[in-house]
Amino acid sequence: MPKSTLPPSGEITPRRILFTGGGSAGHVTVNAALIPQLIAQGWSVSYIGSKTGIEKQLISRLDGVDYYGISTGKLRRYIDLENVKDPFRVVKGVFQAYRLIRGLKPDLLFSKGGFVSVPVVIGAWLNRVPVIIHESDLTPGLANRIAGPFAKRICITFAETAKLLKDGKAVHVGPIIRTELRKGSAWKGMQWCKFTPGKPVLLIMGGSLGSQRINQAIRRNVGALTKSYQVIHICGKGELDERLKGVNGYRQYEYIHDELPDVLACTDLVISRAGSNSIFEFLALRKPMLLIPLSKQASRGDQILNAESFRQAGYCEVLQEEELTDDTLLSTLASIYGNRDAIKAQMGQNGQADAIKRVIALIEENAI
């Protein structure tokens, strides 16, 4: 039975939705795309994340969202002394999330995953709040595999992911693209970077935390790269190289927020990791890509599968970390730039549906 929206005063109360997800920007961007749409439709929005993680920084930039921090552990795949302490942090997080959710009384929890989401999903389930999970990658992440049994629906980006989820909860919604990314101005992007027309722009993104392997390769080849391209290098927090500040045609930033739509609008080529959210955004904007996925030694291998799926579709070329050398970097970039028109034409054949509308419809359908 749906709960009444009429309190004793007779005033209509807004529907309430709770979000969670964090640990990296990839576990926040989908939420950040949905939240303004839901607020515009009259939903009251709250967010539970870690006390100091990147999700707090990113969500604080949105108007109209109440943020709550809880204790979290980290789901590591390597031996570390912190693994002994983390189960206690997770249990503490479950109790904190349970109490918060009991007070907030949301109509639904939407979880993007990441280690912070697990105690929140369990806390919602204990409060009998329906849960929808979103999985961006081709294969489900560890946090979402743990949280899956507590969810009513699991939104998936790749249609192939449904074969890996046998409980009938999977709903293929496609990629969620932040609306503001489609509104960038190439002219403003060039002005902000102090670039000049006539020379292609190369954007490097190593993920929200940066990538030392990619950063090092780019910096070794700054001279060669700036002969052919104007370079925008997003290198991650604390990863700026002061020695390269004066290099003509090279701009480095820890992270780009408000200016990102304009920067993407003026970009001709992208070098990136292969996180699903980012590469689908590049696809939507028709930006030919060189993808360098995280290796299996540093991850569960999801980015390798994402990159291979895009390579087979003709949207990119791929270099595995083990193949990344100065020569392969420069030659593969030259190949992509030479084939850019064919790649962009292939990207144009991808009919991306409005995933945001699909997800909001699921939220409406499953909220109590």
Each residue's pLDDT tens digit, 140-197? 988 999 999 999 999 999 999 999 998 899 999 999 999 999 999 999 999 999 999 9
From first CA to last CA, the distance across the chain in angstroms is: 7
Using a pLDDT cut of 90, give the percent of the chain over it: 79
CB 116, CB 73: distance < 8 Å:
no
Q: Which two tokens stand for residue 39?
A: 């607020």
Better pLDDT: 229 or 6 = 229
The total domain count for the chain is: 2
Report the distance separating Cα 284 and Cα 347, nearest Å.
Answer: 8
**74 is a domain residue:** yes
pLDDT over 80 at 351, yes or no: no
- Residue 126 sits in the same domain as residue 207: no
- How confident is residue 311, by pLDDT bands cut at 50, 70 and 90? very high
Q: What distances in angstroms separate CA 329 from CA 231, 282, 291, 333, 353, one per listed residue?
A: 14, 19, 11, 6, 33
Nearest to 60 by CA among 214, 355, 257: 257
Per-residue pLDDT band at 64 (split at 50, 70, 90): very high
* 94 within some domain: yes
Does one domain contain both 155 and 241?
Answer: no
Domain range holding 108?
Answer: 16-176+353-366
pLDDT score, position 2: 44
Say yes or no: 109 and 243 in one domain.
no
If you average pLDDT over residues 90-106, what whole number do you get? 96
Whether 68 shows a pLDDT value over 60: the answer reads yes
What CATH number is associated with residue 81? 3.40.50.2000
Token output for 26: 């990839």
Residue 10 belongs to a domain: no
* Separation CA 184–CA 232 (nearest Å): 16
Q: Is the pLDDT of residue 8 over 70?
A: no
State residue 321's pLDDT score.
92
Claim to verify: residue 132 and residue 156 sit in the same structural domain: yes
The model's pTM: 0.86
**Helix 340-348 / helix 326-338 crossing angle, nearest 10 deg:** 60
Strand partners, 201: 230
Do 196 and 146 belong to one domain? Answer: no
Could you tell me if 161 and 286 lie in one domain? no
- Cα distances from 184 to residues 24, 178, 227, 229, 240, in angstroms, run 24, 12, 26, 20, 25
2 in a structural domain = no
More confident residue, 9 or 367: 367
What local confidence, expressed as pLDDT, does residue 4 receive? 43
- Which of 306, 284, 249 lies closest to 355 in space, CA to CA? 284
pLDDT, averaged across the chain: 91
**Cα dihedral: 278, 284, 289, 291 (round 10):** 30
pLDDT at 101 over 80: yes
Do 45 and 152 lie in one domain? The reply is: yes
Is the model's pLDDT at 9 over the cut of 70? no
Q: Tell me the pLDDT band of 237, cut-offs 50, 70 and 90.
A: confident
Residue 134: the pLDDT is: 97
pLDDT at residue 6, as a whole number: 47
pLDDT of 110: 98
Give the angle subtended at the CA of 108 by the CAs of 107 and 113, to the nearest 5°. 160
- Both 131 and 189 in one domain: the answer is no
Contact call for residues 142 and 75 (beta carbons, < 8 A): yes
Lowest mean pLDDT among 53-62, 77-86, 116-125, 324-333: 77-86
User: 308-314: long-range contacts at Cβ-Cβ below 8 A with a sequence spacing of 24 or more?
Assistant: 309/138, 309/158, 309/160, 310/274, 310/279, 310/283, 313/346, 313/350, 314/342, 314/343, 314/346
Confidence category of residue 83, pLDDT binned at 50, 70, 90: low
The CA distance from 179 to 184, in Å, is 10
Per the domain annotation, does 11 fall within a domain? Answer: no
